């Protein structure tokens, strides 16, 4: 198989707060984070990323367009991440997280739903990437 790059997207239930998986040698933009909370999944996730030489995209590309990926009665958190190998992050030119309800309202398709449902719990992660070559 011949690949330019691989991009991972997943709900990893990891709360990583300000933890970093990059070293001073990586020359990557520092990741801005939306929450302080760190859990054991978060620590394990950061260790995993370090082992496979990947970095988190959330909060690193267009951090003003970042958002929480889960909202519930317990609060707002970031538990869904896009992560890529260190040497491919420069291929990502845009990144943002938006709620389903924002997208539905933006493109005016809310009238297609037969009943009103709460879409605020659902999120979309968008990113634009190019080729390494």
pTM > 0.85: yes or no: no
Backbone angles phi, psi at 27, to 5 degrees: 55, 40
Domain that includes residue 25, residue range = 8-129
Percent of the chain residues past pLDDT 70, beyond the cut: 68
Tokens of 90: 């420069």
| Distance from C-alpha of 88 to C-alpha of 36, rounded to nearest angstrom | 27
Query: Does residue 89 sit in helix, strand or coil?
Result: helix
| Distance from C-alpha of 57 to C-alpha of 7, rounded to nearest angstrom | 10
pLDDT attached to residue 76: 82
Residue 28 lies in a domain: yes
Nearby residues of 126 by Cβ (< 8 Å), 6 or more positions away: 94, 95, 96, 97, 98
pLDDT attached to residue 118: 47
For the segment 93-129, what is each residue's pLDDT rounded down to a tens digit? Answer: 888 777 766 666 666 555 555 555 444 445 566 565 6
Reported confidence tier of residue 38, pLDDT bands at 50, 70, 90: very high
Residue 86 lies in a domain: yes
Domain count, the chain: 1
For the segment 2-13, what is each residue's pLDDT rounded down to a tens digit? Answer: 566 677 888 888
| Distance from C-alpha of 82 to C-alpha of 36, rounded to nearest angstrom | 19
């Amino acid at each position: 198989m011949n690949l330019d790059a691989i991009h991972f997207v997943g709900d990893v239930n990891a709360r990583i707060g300000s933890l970093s998986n990059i070293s001073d040698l990586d020359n990557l933009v520092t990741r801005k984070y939306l929450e302080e909370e760190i859990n054991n999944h978060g620590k394990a996730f950061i260790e995993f990323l370090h082992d496979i030489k990947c970095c988190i995209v959330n909060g690193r590309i267009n951090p003003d367009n970042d958002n929480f990926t889960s909202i519930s009665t317990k609060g707002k958190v970031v538990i869904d991440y896009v992560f890529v190998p260190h040497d491919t992050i420069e291929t990502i030119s845009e990144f943002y997280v938006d709620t389903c309800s924002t997208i539905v309202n933006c493109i005016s398709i809310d009238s297609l739903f037969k009943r009103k449902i709460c879409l605020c719990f659902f999120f979309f992660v968008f990113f634009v990437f190019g080729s390494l070559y």
